[in-house]
Chain A
Amino acid sequence: MTLATHYPILQVVIPLLAAPACVLLKNPRACWLLTMLVMLVSLGIAGQLVWQTSESGVISYAIGGWAAPWGIEYRVDALSSYVLLIITTIGALVLPFAARSVADEINIKMQYLFYAAFLLCYTGMLGITITGDAFNLFVFLEISSLSSYALVSLGKDRRALSAAFQYLIMGTLGATFYLIGIGLLYMMTGTLNMADLAERLPAVNESRTVLTALAFLTVGISLKLALFPLHSWLPNAYTYAPSAVSALLAGTATKVAAYVLLRVLFTIFGVDFVLGTMPVAEILIILGMAAILIGSMVAIFQENLKRLLAYSSIAQIGYIVVGISLGTVTGLTAGLVHLFNHAIIKSALFMAIGCIIYRLNSVLIGDIAGLGKRMPWTMAAFVAGGVSLIGVPLTAGFISKWYLVLAALDKGYWPIVVVVLAGSLMAVVYIWRIVETAYFKPYNGPASISEAPLTMLIPTWLLIMVNFYVGIDSSLTAGIASKAAAQLLGVSP
Chain B
Amino acid sequence: MNDLLGLYSYWIVIVLMMAGFYVVISSSNLIKKIAGLNIFQTSVFILYISMGKVDGGTAPIVVEGSSNAIYSNPLPHVLILTAIVVGVATTALALALVVRIKEAYGTVDEEAISESDNEL
Q: Do A's and B's CB atoms come within 8 Å in the complex?
A: yes
Q: What residues make up the interface of A, taking CB atoms closer than 8 Å to B?
A: 135, 138-139, 142, 146, 149-150, 153, 158-159, 161-162, 164-165, 168-169, 172-173, 175-176, 179-180, 183, 186-187, 192
Q: What residues make up the interface of B, taking CB atoms closer than 8 Å to A?
A: 21, 24, 30, 33, 37, 40-41, 44, 47-48, 51, 76, 79, 82-83, 86, 89-90, 93-94, 97-98, 100-101, 104-105, 110, 113-114, 117
Which residues from chain B contact A146 at a C-beta distance below 8 Å? 86, 89-90, 93
| Given pairs A158-B101, A179-B44, 14 additional interface contacts (CB within 8 A) | A135-B82, A149-B93, A159-B117, A162-B101, A162-B114, A168-B90, A169-B94, A172-B90, A173-B37, A180-B44, A183-B44, A183-B51, A186-B51, A192-B79
Which residues from chain A contact B105 at a C-beta distance below 8 Å? 158, 162
Contact of A142 with B90 in the complex, beta carbons under 8 Å: yes
- Nearest-neighbor residue (CB-CB) of A135 within chain B: B79
Contact of A165 with B90 in the complex, beta carbons under 8 Å: no
Contact of A158 with B104 in the complex, beta carbons under 8 Å: yes
- Please name 25 pairs of A and B residues whose Cβ atoms are closer than 8 Å in the assembled complex, sorted by A: A135-B79, A138-B86, A139-B86, A146-B89, A146-B93, A149-B93, A150-B93, A158-B101, A158-B104, A159-B117, A161-B104, A162-B117, A165-B94, A168-B93, A169-B24, A172-B90, A173-B24, A173-B37, A173-B40, A176-B41, A179-B44, A180-B47, A183-B44, A183-B47, A183-B48
Question: In the complex, how many angstroms separate the beta carbon of A187 from the nearest chain B beta carbon?
Answer: 6
Contact of B97 with A172 in the complex, beta carbons under 8 Å: no
Contact of A138 with B83 in the complex, beta carbons under 8 Å: yes
A165 touching B51 in the complex, CB below 8 Å, given contacts A138-B83, A142-B90, A158-B105:
no
Question: In the complex, how many angstroms separate the beta carbon of B82 from the nearest chain A beta carbon?
Answer: 6
Which residues from chain A contact B21 at a C-beta distance below 8 Å? 173
A139 touching B82 in the complex, CB below 8 Å, given contacts A173-B24, A176-B40:
yes
- A258 CA to B94 CA, complexed, in Å: 26
Which residues from chain B contact A139 at a C-beta distance below 8 Å? 82, 86
A138, A161, A179: which contacts B100 (Cβ < 8 A)? A161
Which residues from chain A contact B82 at a C-beta distance below 8 Å? 135, 139
A186 touching B94 in the complex, CB below 8 Å, given contacts A142-B86, A173-B40, A176-B44:
no
- Nearest-neighbor residue (CB-CB) of B38 within chain A: A172
Which residues from chain B contact A172 at a C-beta distance below 8 Å? 37, 41, 90
Chain B interface SS verdict (over half): helix
Which residues from chain B contact A164 at a C-beta distance below 8 Å? 97
Contact of B24 with A165 in the complex, beta carbons under 8 Å: no
- Nearest-neighbor residue (CB-CB) of B79 within chain A: A135
Which residues from chain A contact B48 at a C-beta distance below 8 Å? 183
Contact of B37 with A169 in the complex, beta carbons under 8 Å: yes
- A142 CA to B105 CA, complexed, in Å: 28
Which residues from chain A contact B47 at a C-beta distance below 8 Å? 180, 183
Question: In the complex, how many angstroms separate the beta carbon of B11 from the nearest chain A beta carbon?
Answer: 15
Contact of B51 with A179 in the complex, beta carbons under 8 Å: no
Which residues from chain B contact A159 at a C-beta distance below 8 Å? 117
Which residues from chain A contact B113 at a C-beta distance below 8 Å? 162
- A192 CA to B82 CA, complexed, in Å: 15
Question: In the complex, how many angstroms separate the beta carbon of A144 from the nearest chain B beta carbon?
Answer: 12
- Nearest-neighbor residue (CB-CB) of A159 within chain B: B117
Which residues from chain B contact A192 at a C-beta distance below 8 Å? 79
Question: In the complex, how many angstroms separate the beta carbon of B88 from the nearest chain A beta carbon?
Answer: 11
Contact of A168 with B100 in the complex, beta carbons under 8 Å: no
Question: In the complex, how many angstroms separate the beta carbon of A270 from the nearest chain B beta carbon?
Answer: 24
Question: In the complex, how many angstroms separate the beta carbon of A37 from the nearest chain B beta carbon?
Answer: 27
Which residues from chain B contact A165 at a C-beta distance below 8 Å? 30, 94, 97-98, 101
- Nearest-neighbor residue (CB-CB) of B13 within chain A: A180
Question: In the complex, how many angstroms separate the beta carbon of B2 from the nearest chain A beta carbon?
Answer: 18
Interface centre among A158, A165, A168, A175 (most CB of B within 10 A): A165
- Nearest-neighbor residue (CB-CB) of A139 within chain B: B82
Which residues from chain B contact A161 at a C-beta distance below 8 Å? 97, 100-101, 104
A149 touching B97 in the complex, CB below 8 Å, given contacts A158-B104, A173-B24:
yes
Question: In the complex, how many angstroms separate the beta carbon of A61 from the nearest chain B beta carbon?
Answer: 20
The 3 closest A-B pairs by CB, nearest first: A158-B104, A142-B86, A161-B101
Question: In the complex, how many angstroms separate the beta carbon of A109 from the nearest chain B beta carbon?
Answer: 15
Which residues from chain A contact B98 at a C-beta distance below 8 Å? 165
- Nearest-neighbor residue (CB-CB) of B51 within chain A: A187
- Nearest-neighbor residue (CB-CB) of A158 within chain B: B104
